Each structure stands twice: as structure tokens, then as C-alpha cells.
A and B are shown apart, each in its own frame.
Chain A
Amino acid sequence: MPEPRSGRRPLPRRAVLAAAAVGLSTALTSTLSACSPASGSTSSGVTLTFSWWGNDDRAARTEQAVRLFEKEHPGVTVRTSSGDFGAYLQKLATQAAGGGMPDVAQLDYRQVSQYAGGGALMSLDDAIEDRTIRTSEMSRDFLRTGTYKGGQFALPMGRGITGYAYDAAVYKKADVPTPKPSWTWRDWEEANKRIAALGLKSPDGRPYTGANDGGGNEDVFETWLRGRGGKLYASQTELGFTEDDLTAFWTFCDRLRREGAIAQARDTVQANSTETSPIGRGLAAADFTWDAPFPSYPVLLGDSVHFAPVPTTDGHQGAYFKPSMLIGIGAHSAHPKEAAQLVDFLLNDQRVGDILAFSRSTPPNRKIAARVAKTLKGPEREIYEYAQTMEKYGLDATPTAPPRGDVAVQTAFIREYQRVMYGLATPRQAARELIDEANRELRS
């Protein structure tokens, strides 16, 4: 481009300076204002931020509960945000690291140790003591999952339990008895083989199998392990199982898959929702899952799908009640009192109980759970009754929150089993790699 030379009046110095100053100050102020903390007093009062993960239904119900809170607390505005699980966890981790944790946040039990230990969560002990947050209607044992070094840093929002969604019509056709709380892994193996032997075909013409392959699912392994008296973690820095335990589990799953009794590798790998799981695609008769997502199965697959207990080892159940999610307050919240009020409102207000219902599994507040249970119908009634039955049958005690490294161990678990499925490693090689990696993660 030719440079302008002659014939043009030079810009007056003052005009240039003024323009530059305006430009610079605009640039700086806009940057700075973008950095201001998310929570802060506005002219109309207090603004709280609250974030959670979940589906649209949960989002709509939570919004409704939050609007009710705003109505009851004039001058308090709650800014909400939600996303899907994976993205949410990463966003929250980044926010927490930058000191920008939301005032109130839904947490996964894997985050409690990390966030509380890293000073990102506020201790709730004072708020519980002065009864701003009431816990009298919650089980003492169950509250323990939200503790870190003796202090309460998070409270459960829902009580979940693992289970088994299965197609009762197919089970009947294969002459497999209805799964009872005491059915065993051997019964499960037999059921899968009988179903595969029926010779049914999926919609795309492939063989129909008994169940999905739970080999890469840490929850399924934990149930299997606990049934045999083991556990995932011995302490915050030690695994609670051995290479032999994991080799045995993976050999078992690997064999059933090779025999065609459970879903093929490519179907397991591509399953990331109910729709894409083997049962959702008409490739299998059952799926290991949690109680909270179960109601979506009958909606998608029909009324013959029911919820059953996970298999046991000689009648010893490995399942336990786990917080499906927790709620906590950011350590740097500018309005801890209002944040605590919001937490209490979400957990203990009867009207909120009616609105949220079972959208986060069984409410931890016993009175609310009993009240909401009366209104339940269909699959939701089924999972409520399932929890009651299992409680009577006898479950393992809820362990404390897992160590910080568990997130990495969980992803390694999926990956190493995939190596087994594709014949890239034997069950023993994969188990050894997993244990090496887990030990590295737990040490650091």
C-alpha cells in the first residue's frame, strides 16, 4: 500500500493523544470489568451464582426452585448456569483454580477431597451449627461423604444406588428367573448365555446378546469387588485391590464377550447414552446403570424394561448408597449467608422438594423423600421401592469420598479394558498397567 506523503495535513498532536487515551482507557476498563468477580452486590441487592450439571428436565425444575427462592428473599438474585457432566467438571475446576468458584455449586463426590483440600470450598460447619443449613432430617452416615478431614464441606443432594435395567420379556422368553437381590454373578453369566442362545437378531441383523460389557465400568468392578469383600481404595494414597482381583474380573468379562454372551467391543466403545448403549440399540437385553437415569429406559424401550439389583457373590451385595451429587459453597463467596440460605432452601424446603422431586435421585431429607414418594408412579415408583428393598436386604456402608487421583484412575480403567477388548493387552497386562498408573496418580 502506498504511504500517504504529501497533500495531507498531519493529524494534530492533541487529537491523536486524546483519541489514544480514550481508546486505551476503553480497552482497559472493558478488560477489567470482564475480570470482576461473578458475584457481587448490585444496586438492587445481592447476586449469587449457582451452577449444576444435568439434563433439561433437571434444569427446568431447578430454575423453578431458584425463582421461588428469589421470591422469598427479595433483593437476592440468583444467576444460574448448567451444562453436561464432562464439560461442567472441567469448567468448575478452572473456575476453582482461578478463585472464581460459583457461590453455590453442585459437586461430584470425586471433587470433594480435591476442592476442600485445595481451599476452594467453604466449611459448612458454622452454617450447620447456627441452623442456617438444617441437617436434622438427613442420615448421619450418609453425610459423611461430604466431609474432608473431619469438616463438612459439601452436602448430598440425592441418594443414588447402582442397579440393572433389564428387559423382562426377553428374560421370560429365555426362561431366566427374575433377578432377586441375592442373585449371583454365576446366575448373571447363565442368563446372558441363555439369552444369546435364543438366536435373536438386532435391527441391523447382528446377534442379540444378554447385556452390555461392564468390564470398563469402574462402578461395576467396585460392586463385583465389594461382593467379594474388597474395596477400591484402602486409603487416600493406596488402592484396595490387587492385580489378581482386577485380572480375575477382566478375564471373566473378556471370556463372556468372546463367547458372544455380552455386547461386542465396538458397541461398548460407542455407547455414551441410553440411546447408544447396546440395550438402547436393540443389541442386548440389559444394562448396568444407576437408579436416577433408569426412568429414561422404559420411555425409550417400553414397559417390559424393569430395574433389578446388581449380581452378588454368594449373596453378598456389593452395592451401597452413594450421593448422586453434592452441593457446596465457594470459599471466596462474597455472600456466604445468602449462599447458605440457598443451600438450605434447595435441600429442606417442602415446596422445593415437590418441584425437584426425584430429579436428583432420592432426596436426602427423609421427610421430603417420604412425601414425594407418595406421588410417584411407574418407573420412579419402581426405583423408590428398589431402594427400600435393598436397604432391607442389607448393603455395604457408604465409604468416604475417594482420593483426588480417582478421576484419572476412572479414565484409565475404561482405556485399559478397551485394550483388553481389542486384544492389545491380556487382562493381566492391562491390570498391571492400570495399577502402575493408579499408584503414580495416588502418590502425586
Chain B
Amino acid sequence: MSTVSTRAPARPTLTTDRKPPARRRRQVRERQWPAYVFLTPWMIGALVLTLVPMAVSLYLSFTDYNLFDPPHWVGLRNYTEMLTDDPRYWRSVGTTMLYVVVAVPLKLGLALAVATLLKNLNRGRAFYRSAFYAPSLLGASMSIALVWRALFNDGGTISDILNSVGVHAGGWVGNPDLAVYVVVLLTVWQFGAPMVIFLAGLQQISPDLYEAAALDGAGRRRQFVSITVPMLSPVVFFNLVLEIINSFQVFTPAFVISGGKGGPADSTMFYTLYLYERGFTASHMGYAAAMAWMVLIAIAAITLILFRTSRSWVFYADEEGR
């Protein structure tokens, strides 16, 4: 693939520009300032709405702050309390990890499977692509979570269907062993976004490779394992990182399905929901801020680990000649 760039035509601008370098640099500088002027409102926005609140949140994480009285400095107490003296904190970590470990592979697996099917589809591909993508657009909304809650409630459609085939599971929402899977299913159902990205990745793979493999006698399964998977690994990596980060931040479906309480018996008390409860129900804003920083650190660490390990399994086509 590295040979491709040499075939590209020489850029005409390089040959027509005969001005001395110093003058050109000045011109470029002069042309840049309107850009900065136009960017100013957004830069002020980024500063005022992102960086300053982040700094305040970091400060608050070292305080006891109940929203009403002024924050009171407590040093590392919030952090030590959550790590050593709060069983619910660890339960929320456990629930979130369970969710990440179950939901992410299921969602990506389904996305890849459907993308593979769609790639080989000649007619109606646009229709199916839109149809499968639609839940990703709708899925994060309150209304869908409410519908989901109604479906899985006791006496809802799902329990009726299961009852009719002799499985009496009751309402999933009211069962602490099953409630978390209602949220998992809702997430997996929104596989459209990674599917579209997989589809784009699949279409990038040169048909020549498959033709050559077929000539060598490789079957469909062999082609998938030896061509599709390695050629698609950068896309898998991209989707994986994105989905893991998103999964750690799952909030709306859990909030709606459990009525904001993370129940029954804390079974849907995801990390962000517990953070919200600490901050807005129990008025421990300092503790909630500390929790937010912990999850930021955790996500950063996991992302870093993924990037490190990716060197051994992600295959970039332009590395071929190295």
C-alpha cells in the first residue's frame, strides 16, 4: 500500500508559488487572525463551560459540600471513604463492570454480524442500514427508556410473551437478577452506530484479497478469519475504545428503568447513577465530584491499556511493508 502515494500527481500549488518564504509566512499569519476572532466565542465557551468547571470540580472533590453551606476542606477524606468505607461504592463499580463486560462484546458482535450481512446484500442495503441505525438515534432518549420499562415491567409485553410459552419470570424490572439485563438489552439494541462504522471498514477491504484467497481454496470462514478480521482490526479497536468509554457513563436508561433509584436492591445502581444519587439526592457534592474524578482516571487507565495492547493485535495496512 505504501506505493500508492508515489503514484499521486504532484501538487500544482508547490510549483506555482514563487514568493519568498518569509513573506509567505507573514501572509499566512495575516490570514489566520480572522479565524481566531471567529473562534473566540467558542474558546471562551470552552474555558468558561469546561475548564473552569473541571477545576472547580477537582477542588470540590477535596471538600464536604452540601450545596447550601460553603464547601469545607476535608483533604483526601472523600477518596479514602469511597475506597475503604463505602460498600455501595464497590457494588456500583461491580455492577458497572458487569455491564461493560456483557454489553460491549454483545453489541460489537451483533454490529459486526449485521454489517457483514449487509455488505453482501445488493438490494435494499440503504433501507436496512437506516433501519438498523435508527435505534442509535432514538435509543438514548427518555421516551425509549420508558417504553423499555413498560415492555419489561410485570404485566408488560415481554412477561406476557414469556408467560405464554411457560416461562414465569415476572417483570424483569422488578427482579434484581434480571433488571441489569434490561439495560444491557437496551444498549445492545442500539448497535447501529458501530455497525455503520464496521460497514465502512468492510467496504474498504479490497475485493482482490478475497478473490486471491478464493483461488487458493479458502472457504468463507477462512476468509473471514484471515482477511476480514485482521483488515478490520483498526475499526474493531476504534469501536471498542468508544463503546467502553460510553458504557462506563451509562446513565439515562438505568435512571429511567429504575425510576432514578438504581433498584431493586441496588441491582441497577451503575456508577454514574450512584454519583448522581450522592450529589443530588443525598447532597454530598464533594463526594460526587471525587467519584467523577475516579471514573475519569479509571477510563483513562483502561484506554491507555487498550492502546498499549493494541500494538499486538491491531493491524494497519500501511505497516505491511515494514
Contact with B68, one of A115, A411, A441 (Cβ below 8 angstroms): A115
Q: Contact between B41 and A24 (Cβ–Cβ < 8 Å)?
A: yes
Query: Is there an interface contact between A97 and B67, defined as CB atoms closer than 8 Å?
Result: yes
- Of the residues A90, A119, A408, A422, contact of B265 by C-beta under 8 Å: A422
A229: Cβ under 8 A from any B Cβ: no
Interface core residue of B13, B153, B174, B263 (most chain A CB under 10 Å): B174
Q: How far is the CB of A84 from chain B (nearest CB, A)?
A: 11
B108 within 8 Å of A (CB atoms)? no
Given A267-B154, A408-B281, A408-B282, answer yes or no on A415-B266 (Cβ-Cβ < 8 Å): yes
Residues of B within 8 A of A444 (CB): 64, 284
Among candidates B13, B153, B174, B261, residue contacting A414 with C-beta atoms closer than 8 Å: B261
Contact yes or no, A118 B68, CB < 8 A: yes
- Given known contacts A269-B174, A270-B174, A20 and B40 CB-to-CB distance under 8 angstroms: yes
Residues of chain B within 8 A (CB-CB) of A94 are 67, 280
Residues on the A chain within 8 Å of B173, using CB: 270
- A269: B residues at CB distance < 8 A: 174, 263-264
Determine how close the nearest CB of chain B comes to the CB of A202; give it in whole angstroms. Answer: 10
Instruction: List residues 25-57 of chain B with CB under 8 A from any CB of chain A.
Output: 31, 34, 37-38, 40-41
| Measured CA separation A409–B38 after assembly (Å) | 51
Rounded to whole angstroms, the CA-CA distance of A408 and B87 in the bound complex is 15
Q: Which of A27, A117, A418 contacts B263 (CB 8 A)?
A: A418
12 cross-chain CB contacts under 8 A: A16-B34, A16-B37, A27-B41, A118-B66, A267-B174, A270-B171, A270-B174, A407-B283, A415-B263, A421-B265, A422-B176, A433-B87
Chain B's closest residue to A87 (CB) is B260
Query: CA of A227 to CA of B265 in the docked complex: distance in angstroms?
Result: 28
B277 proximity list for chain A (CB < 8 A): 411
Given contacts A93-B67, A265-B264, A270-B171, 19 further A-B contacts (CB under 8 A): A20-B34, A23-B38, A24-B40, A24-B41, A86-B260, A114-B66, A114-B283, A115-B68, A117-B68, A118-B69, A204-B155, A281-B155, A408-B281, A411-B281, A418-B265, A419-B265, A422-B176, A433-B87, A444-B64
Range for the number of chain A residues in contact with chain B: 35 or more
Contact B263 A414 (CB under 8 A): yes
Distance of A96 Cα from B285 Cα, bound (Å): 14
Residues of A contacting B87 in the complex (Cβ-Cβ under 8 angstroms):
433
Question: Bound complex: CA of A265 vs CA of B176, how far in Å?
Answer: 10
Q: Of B37, B66, B153, B154, which one neighbours A20 at CB under 8 angstroms?
A: B37
Write the residues of chain B forming the contact surface with A, with a CB cutoff of 8 angstroms.
13, 31, 34, 37-38, 40-41, 64, 66-69, 87, 153-155, 170-171, 173-176, 259-261, 263-266, 277, 280-284
A32 CB-CB contact with B under 8 Å: no
- Inter-chain contact A266/B171, CB cutoff 8 Å: yes
Does A404 sit within 8 A of B, measured CB to CB?
yes
- What is the bound-complex CA distance between A359 and B176, given in angstroms? 37
Q: How many residue pairs at the A-B interface have CB separations less than 8 Å?
A: 96
| Residues of chain A with a CB closer than 8 A to B155's CB | 204, 281
Majority DSSP secondary structure for residues of A touching B: helix
Alpha-carbon distance A86/B263, docked complex (angstroms): 16
Residue of A nearest to B64 (CB): A444
Q: Which residue of A lies closest to B65 (CB)?
A: A97
Are B265 and A415 in contact, CB atoms less than 8 angstroms apart? yes
Cβ of A267: which chain B residues have Cβ within 8 Å of it?
Answer: 154, 174
Closest to B34 in A: A16
Given contacts A90-B280, A408-B282, contact A415 B68 (CB under 8 A): no
CB-based contact A418/B283 at 8 Å: no
- Answer whether A407 and B37 are a contact pair too, CB < 8 Å, given A270-B154, A424-B265: no
| CB–CB A117/B69 < 8 A | yes
Closest Cβ of chain A to B309, distance in Å, is: 35
Instruction: Tell me, in angstroms, the Cα distance from A272 to B173 when the chains sit together.
Output: 13
Residues of B within 8 A of A404 (CB): 66, 283
B265 pairs with A120, CB closer than 8 A: no
Chain A residues, CB < 8 A from B31: 10
A287 to chain B, nearest CB (A): 17
Q: For the complex, is A5 an interface residue (Cβ under 8 Å from B)?
A: yes
CB distance from B158 to the nearest CB of A (A): 14
CB nearest neighbor in B for A89: B281
Closest to A410 in B: B281
Q: Is A34 an interface residue (CB 8 A)?
A: no
How far does the alpha carbon of A414 sit from the alpha carbon of B34 in the complex, in Å? Answer: 59
Distance from B15 Cβ to chain A, minimum over Cβ atoms (Å)? 14
Give chain B residues whose Cβ lies under 8 Å from the Cβ of A119.
Answer: 68
CB distance from B157 to the nearest CB of A (A): 14
Give CA–CA (A24, B284) in the complex, Å: 37
Distance between B137 CB and nearest chain A CB, rounded to angstroms: 25
Taking CB atoms, residues of chain B closer than 8 Å to A433 are 87
Output the least CB separation between B80 and chain A (Å): 13
- Residues on B with C-beta less than 8 A from A441 are 282
In chain A, positions 368-411 with a C-beta closer than 8 Å to chain B are 404-405, 407-408, 411
- Interface pairs A-B: 3 shortest CB-CB: A118-B68, A97-B67, A418-B265
Cα A16 to Cα B284 with chains together (Å)? 48
Q: Do A93 and B69 have beta carbons less than 8 Å apart?
A: no
A299 interface residue (CB < 8 Å to B) = no
1/0 per residue A2-25: CB within 8 Å of B? 000100001100001100100110
Q: How far is the CA of A225 from the CA of B281 in the complex (A)?
A: 25
Q: Which residue of A lies closest to B156 (CB)?
A: A270
Q: Which residue of A lies closest to B176 (CB)?
A: A422
Residues of A with C-beta under 8 A to B69 = 117-118
Interface centre among B38, B40, B154, B263 (most CB of A within 10 A): B154
Known: A16-B37, A270-B171. A120 touches B68 (CB 8 A): yes
Question: Which B-chain residue is minimally distant from A411 (CB atoms)?
Answer: B281
Complex Cα spacing A111 to B34, Å: 52
B129 CB to closest chain A CB (Å) equals 25
Cα distance A5–B12 when bound, in Å?
13
Q: A17-B37, A270-B174, A415-B266 are in contact. Are A407 and B66 (CB under 8 A)?
A: no
Closest to A441 in B: B282
- In the complex, chain A residues whose CB is within 8 Å of the CB of B264: 265, 269, 418, 421-422
Which residues of the other chain, B, contact A407 by a CB distance below 8 angstroms?
281-283
B257 to chain A, nearest CB (A): 11
Contacts of A204 in B (CB 8 A): 155
Measured between alpha carbons, how far is A415 from B283 in the docked complex, in Å? 18
Mark out the residues of chain A between 427 and 444 whose CB falls within 8 Å of any chain B CB in the assembled complex: 433, 441, 444
Q: What 1/0 flags go to A113-135 for Cβ under 8 Å of B? A: 01101111000000000000000
State how many angstroms separate the Cβ of A10 from the closest Cβ of chain B.
8
A20 CA to B37 CA, complexed, in Å: 7
Cβ–Cβ < 8 Å partners of A16 in chain B: 34, 37
Interface string of A57-94 (1 = CB under 8 A from B): 00000000000000000000000000000100010011
